[in-house]
Amino acid sequence: MKIGEYQLANPLILAPMAGITDKPFRELCFKLGAGMTVSEMCSSNPKVWASSKSTHRMTHTQEAGIRSVQIAGNCPVEMAAAAQFNVEQGAQIIDINMGCPAKKVNKKFAGSALLQHPDVVKQILHSVVNAVDVPVTLKIRTGWDTDNRNGVDIALLAQDAGIASLAVHGRTRSCMYKGFAEFDTIKAIKQAVSIPVVANGDITTPEKARDVLDYTGADAIMIGRGAQGNPWIFREINHYLTTGEKLAPVEPTEVSETLLNHVHALHEFYGDFLGVRIARKHIGWYLKEQRNELRQELFKIETASEQLAVLNRIFTDNIN
């Protein structure tokens, strides 16, 4: 699959997830087999660009792989300016968020709330595409609610505006993350447009990845929650798609090394105070099979050195 001039190594993309797909996690997933990773969304509001959170999210240089950066907002002018700013910061692809179902995003008339207003969608798409010289992609849901699945209409608008690739999560905004993703709408979108289409939603195994690609005809798949605590999923799916065989389970020593390196990278990227707190959710995902009291102990730790020391002890005890 190609996005503009950029050739993906394989059809597996890490989905943008706010507060999760920061630089350390993107680099880890790319190392473990993702063909491309997408940053957590950056606000188009210039008033917040100088904040600590935005500064970390807008760090795009010295990163392996294709640098795709997602922006979110509702004003065509601000979205165009945000696209230009992020390209100046090193973004090679700009992705527009029209898929986030979170209330705090939707109440600002952004994310998937925009699907209710195709006229505004059209304005934003044309404004951003015309503002930058890099490929612009779009991420959407199948519609606003189950009675208003307008994904095909939005896809046609995207194609007409010059969008280079379209990712579709197989749920409506009102579905949030409940129930199961449906792929009929994604299949219909793929049949309606000629631009690359990426299928997203509930892809957590190599077999599901193969089934979704076969059923929808999509050019690639996007994995979000399936990679939380399991960044090896990209390696596993890629191997299965290539050979038809499943890899053996990840060895405990590799799990230990990967988690410790990931947590250390978070400490370095955010600093000890914030890094410890951000690492907690990742630790919880990695160790979801561990005893609850053990996870609770880790969540109470306040220092980076102690967090790493306790993790070392847990894995040493488990391996021995």
Active site residues: 100
In contact, 219 and 36? CB cutoff 8 Å: no
DSSP letter at 260 equals: H
Coil vs helix vs strand at 186: helix
Distance, in Å, from the CA atom of 123 to the CA atom of 119, rounded to the nearest integer, reads 6
Of 152, 149, 156, 155, the residue nearest 174 (C-alpha): 149
Do the strands 220-223 and 197-200 form a parallel or antiparallel pair, or are they unpaired?
parallel
Q: Which two tokens stand for residue 226?
A: 């399936």
End-to-end CA distance of the chain: 44
- If one counts every other C-beta atom within 10 angstroms of the C-beta of residue 288, the result is 12
